Amino acid sequence: MQQGGNRQTEKLLLQRSVPGRVGVVLPGLDVPAQPMPANSLLRNELALPELSEPEVVQYFTGLSLKNFSIDTHFYPLGSCTMKYNPKINDEIAFQAGFAGIHPLQPVEQSQGALELLYKLQGFLGEITGLPAVSLATLAGAHGELGGMLMIRAQHLANGETGRLKVAIPDSAHGTNPASAAMAGFEVVELASDNDGNVDLGALRSVAGPDLAGVMITLPSTLGLFDTNILEVCRIVHEAGGLVYGDGANMNALLGRVKLGDLGFDVCHLNLHKTFSTPHGGGGPGAGPVCCTEQLAPYLAAPMVTQNGDSYDLFTPEKSIGKLSGFHGNFGVLVRAYTYIRTLGDAGIKSISGNAVLSANYMMNALRGVYHLPYDRTCMHEAVFSADFQKERGSSGLEIAKRLLDYGFHAPTMYFPLIVHEALMIEPTESETKETIDAFIQALIDIDREVTEDTELVNNAPHTTPVARLDEAKAARQPDLRWQPEAAD
């Protein structure tokens, strides 16, 4: 990969700083100078860099070239849905009429924004079969917190103060138990059965009067559609609990099935996965919450309603309250709306079809080369184990790092936790068959390298801006900011 052209990036901003340089010229003061506050209220030093504009542009451009990204590399990071992020979505969101409006301006001056949000609520309700939608939550985990607070609020409103347990499969994302705990619940882990489905016996054993609900990811993080799902929902409902859906893997199900039809009561969506909004190196995301009419009064504020020809914000009757400063990650919501309008009914279903086809095609080509702990039709991603390779001396980590040398981003490693040496691979619908074939060949070549040159694999990567990093040192002696006295 390129490494920053000849613009060096080793020195940090404050090390580059030269007294007297400026990066921005601002207008002069055009009003009479006013009396300054007491000196004791003013700071003396301000340790920020002094750099000219070209230096800033060159430094950050150089840094950007040290990243893998969807635009530069195939990025089959399982459970993250690293699909193409359309450029038109950014262009629409950056228009002054969207990016340049203030969240507190009167609703008469933001009718276009409210119309977009109102229609997006409707689209997401239609896609999930859960018709009531709040867009106010800012990421997937934030949506989980909102959804679990709603479940808690409904039980309390019904006088069910003893429903304190939430059951979560052992394959779940770490955010699920963390969100349930933040919402005040005790977490009970549910085993998976030999087919990768929720173990119904385990579920029945916790489905009692203290069960608040379950959190289910569908398809599961094993990339599998849980064939017991109707039974799971029935058992939970009969015990008086509610079913929460983690929508992280919704790319597999778009237009194929609606969570509401299956019996889910509330779910979140990850617009930064399924609906193509860029991850930005770790955010922003958006995690809208969709629910049944029964749970609708509890949704997070604000929501958008239509009154005749105009739109307005409102707080649901029994709302859990506000979870963010304003109305949600509007710029992300604009991008998702643009994506849904571009693809439309036919295109939305084409996403899931092509994503699932590509994943199965890849899984089939690698069957036998890499161990498949759950060998059945997968959904949008396939979870392999590097057990075969580990016997010959290379772990999943080493294979993942070696893939970087082939110019592919690594799969998700060591997750889900119930698969030994897990390699979770999600190709998405936006990659060509040629790319997927090249990736398959790379994994076959690496398998051969494990036998022929284990050291080559185990010392990878060899071509990235840095080699394998000392994570133990980073944690033992945390160096989290640059200080002039520190040794460089």
Nearer to another protein, 290 or 451 (CB): 290
Window 335 to 364, contacts with another protein (CB under 8 A): 338, 340-351, 353-354, 356-358, 360-361, 364
Please report how close the Cβ of residue 283 comes to another protein at its closest, in angstroms: 4
Window 16 to 75, contacts with another protein (CB under 8 A): 17, 21-24, 26-27, 29-38, 40-43, 46-51, 53, 56-57, 59-61, 63-73, 75
The single residue listed with the structure tokens 């779940």 is 172
Nearer to another protein, 246 or 449 (CB): 246
Nearer to another protein, 296 or 320 (CB): 320
Q: Are 135 and 328 in contact (CB under 8 A)?
A: yes
Among 128, 130, 199, CA closest to 167: 199
* Binding status of residue 410 toward another protein by CB under 8 A: yes
Look up residue 423 and give its DSSP letter. E
CA distances in angstroms from 291 to 223, 231, 238, 327, 334, listed in the order given: 24, 20, 19, 18, 21
- What would the two tokens of residue 457 be? 């694999």
* Binding status of residue 184 toward another protein by CB under 8 A: yes
State how far the Cα of 360 lies from the Cα of 71, in Å rounded to an integer: 24
Q: Are 323 and 137 in contact (CB under 8 A)?
A: yes
Q: Are 173 and 273 in contact (CB under 8 A)?
A: no
State how far the Cα of 358 lies from the Cα of 371, in Å rounded to an integer: 19
* Binding status of residue 15 toward another protein by CB under 8 A: no
Nearer to another protein, 156 or 391 (CB): 156
* Binding status of residue 121 toward another protein by CB under 8 A: no
Question: Which of 85, 221, 251, 385 is in the footprint of another protein by CB under 8 A?
Answer: 85
Window 187 to 216, contacts with another protein (CB under 8 A): 187
Please report how close the Cβ of residue 257 comes to another protein at its closest, in angstroms: 5
Q: Please name the amino acid found at residue 151.
A: I
Window 367 to 396, contacts with another protein (CB under 8 A): 377
Please report how close the Cβ of residue 193 comes to another protein at its closest, in angstroms: 14
Look up residue 408 and give its DSSP letter. B
Residue 233: which H helix or E strand, with range?
helix 229-238
Residue 431: Cβ within 10 Å count: 22
Question: Which of 7, 118, 123, 160 is in the footprint of another protein by CB under 8 A?
Answer: 123
Question: Which of 96, 159, 293, 307 is in the footprint of another protein by CB under 8 A?
Answer: 96
Please report how close the Cβ of residue 66 comes to another protein at its closest, in angstroms: 4
Torsional class of 140: left (φ above 0), alpha (ψ -120 to 50), beta (otherwise): alpha
- What would the two tokens of residue 304 be? 């958008």
Window 430 to 459, contacts with another protein (CB under 8 A): 430-433
Nearer to another protein, 87 or 391 (CB): 87
Window 101 to 120, contacts with another protein (CB under 8 A): 101-106, 109-113, 115-116
Window 268 to 297, contacts with another protein (CB under 8 A): 270, 272, 276, 278-285
Question: Which of 171, 179, 217, 274 is in the footprint of another protein by CB under 8 A?
Answer: 179
Please report how close the Cβ of residue 366 comes to another protein at its closest, in angstroms: 12
State how far the Cα of 423 lies from the Cα of 83, in Å rounded to an integer: 18
Window 128 to 167, contacts with another protein (CB under 8 A): 129, 138-142, 144-145, 149, 152
Window 210 to 249, contacts with another protein (CB under 8 A): 224-225, 227, 229-230
Please report how close the Cβ of residue 441 comes to another protein at its closest, in angstroms: 14
Strands 165-169 and 211-217: parallel
- How many residues at the interface with another protein, by CB under 8 A? 197
Name residues whose C-beta falls within 8 Å of residue 397's C-beta, 6 or more positions apart in sequence.
413, 414
| Options 174-182, 205-213, 237-245, 289-297: segment touching another protein (CB under 8 A) | 174-182
**Please, what's the largest Cα pairwise distance for the chain?**
78
Q: Are 297 and 303 in contact (CB under 8 A)?
A: no
Would you say how long the chain is, in residues?
Answer: 488
